[in-house]
Amino acid sequence: MTTHVGLTARALGADRVVIAGETGETSRDTIRDITDRFGGPFEADLTEQYRAMLRNWEGKVVHLTMYGERVQDVEADVRAAHADEPLLVVVGAEKVPFDVYEAADWNVGVTNQPHSEVAGLAVFLDRLFEGRELEREWVGAERRVVPEAMGKTVEPAESE
Amino acid sequence: MTTHVGLTARALGADRVVIAGETGETSRDTIRDITDRFGGPFEADLTEQYRAMLRNWEGKVVHLTMYGERVQDVEADVRAAHADEPLLVVVGAEKVPFDVYEAADWNVGVTNQPHSEVAGLAVFLDRLFEGRELEREWVGAERRVVPEAMGKTVEPAESE
């Protein structure tokens, strides 16, 4: 699931993922490998001190949680803030400590239903960037997929 | 991952999930349990014959794949078709047989990047319904989450 969160962040417009917890190394390596092959820029890192990262973040913090305010109610405010400052989006696993709720500028629910942190992140990013992330150009890719009605075509990426 | 696909489908406006493959029973039961607690209508079922289901589907079929046409290019056509007919959205696991590509009216990529089938489904549904799914009212719920800026509040659902 951590790998999917990281790959979703990359595909949908984020520029970095930082994985907290002790089992993140495999996920980080997979995400880096995908970035090497399909392009970036995108960074994948680990942290053992996510609380310090939250505390020292120079910008706004969104925490995605099914208990939060409705995304459709707060997305305009988040978008406006993101125009001026970097945004840290916290995606939790099962039990998120309450101090994360307190550290966040917004606790945001993509629906107030139980579903998937990957789905929540995906919808949040697509709304944050208003679809512009789908037009992103990838740099340093070895290969690219050619979108097509039927088939699976992968070609070498053009050199830059 | 199958459970997350089903819960995402439910949370983001689909009315049913059908799980193919031999290991779907636990996922189905989890999805039904969430529906019992947080409301519906939403159905979760298994099939051993997904090819027959695709063949006999009375409506259009979308297959989500990173090799497909760009979602931003085809979503208006899919939306128009969905106004008249039911839509079956196929979300595959690792290796999707080529006959699924052939059975689909649209092969659609939510980005042509490798990420997560859960993320792809989430963005696809949010775009299909143009955000209206977030306003859905839930019927037959035992409990509901109260959206709020900070906290975790769950209350008994009002009787209907």
Measured CA to CA, the distance from residue A28 to residue A112 in angstroms comes to: 29
Smallest CA–CA distance, residue A6 to chain B, in Å, is 8
Measured CA to CA, the distance from residue B50 to residue A92 in angstroms comes to: 34
pLDDT of residue A64: 98
The CB density around residue A93, as the number of other CB atoms within 10 Å, is 11
Model confidence pLDDT, tens digit, residues B73-82: 999 999 999 9
**Residue A155 pLDDT > 90:** yes
Q: Do the Cβ atoms of B86 and B59 come closer than 8 Å?
A: yes
By C-alpha distance, the chain A residue nearest B95 is A152
Model confidence pLDDT, tens digit, residues A129-141: 999 999 999 999 9
Look up residue A67 and give its two tokens: 């208990």
Three-class secondary structure of residue B135 per DSSP? helix
H or E element: which one contains A61? strand A60-70
Kindly report the average pLDDT of chain A as a whole number. Answer: 95
pLDDT of residue A123: 98
Confidence category of residue B3, pLDDT binned at 50, 70, 90 = very high
* Mean pLDDT of the A8-22 span: 95
Confidence category of residue B38, pLDDT binned at 50, 70, 90 = very high
Q: Do the Cβ atoms of A39 and A140 come closer than 8 Å?
A: yes
**Residue B112 pLDDT > 90:** yes
Measured CA to CA, the distance from residue B5 to residue B117 in angstroms comes to: 7
User: Do B71 and A134 make contact, defined as CB atoms within 8 angstroms?
Assistant: yes
Confidence category of residue A29, pLDDT binned at 50, 70, 90 = very high
User: Do A149 and B68 make contact, defined as CB atoms within 8 angstroms?
Assistant: yes
A7 closest CB neighbour out of B109, B116, B145: B116
Model confidence pLDDT, tens digit, residues A41-100: 999 999 999 999 999 999 999 999 999 999 999 999 999 999 999 999 999 977 899 999
**Residue B157 pLDDT > 90:** yes
Measured CA to CA, the distance from residue B157 to residue A140 in angstroms comes to: 52
Mutation for testing the A interface, residue in B74, B77, B134, B142 having most A CBs under 10 Å: B134
pLDDT of residue A21: 81
Which of the pair, B21 or B69, is modelled with greater confidence? B69
Contacts of A10 in chain B (CB under 8 A): 113, 115
A115 closest CB neighbour out of B11, B67, B109: B11
* Mean pLDDT of the B138-146 span: 96
Kindly report the average pLDDT of chain B as a whole number. Answer: 95
A109 closest CB neighbour out of B34, B101, B147: B147
Angle between the B2-11 and B25-38 helix axes, to the nearest 10 degrees? 30
Smallest CA–CA distance, residue A3 to chain B, in Å, is 9
Four-CA torsion A10, A14, A20, A26, nearest 10 degrees: 10
A11 closest CB neighbour out of B69, B104, B113: B113
Least confident span in A120-129, B78-87, B94-103: B94-103
User: Do A146 and B112 make contact, defined as CB atoms within 8 angstroms?
Assistant: yes
- Enter the ipTM: 0.96
User: Do A38 and B101 make contact, defined as CB atoms within 8 angstroms?
Assistant: no
pLDDT of residue A6: 97
Confidence category of residue A159, pLDDT binned at 50, 70, 90 = low
Model confidence pLDDT, tens digit, residues B43-89: 999 999 999 999 999 999 999 999 999 999 999 999 999 999 999 99
Contacts of A66 in chain B (CB under 8 A): 145
User: Do B148 and A38 make contact, defined as CB atoms within 8 angstroms?
Assistant: no
Distance, first Cα to last Cα, chain B: 33
**Residue B27 pLDDT > 80:** yes
pLDDT of residue B125: 98
Q: Which of B94, B92, B102 is nearest to B55 (CA)?
A: B102
By C-alpha distance, the chain A residue nearest B70 is A147
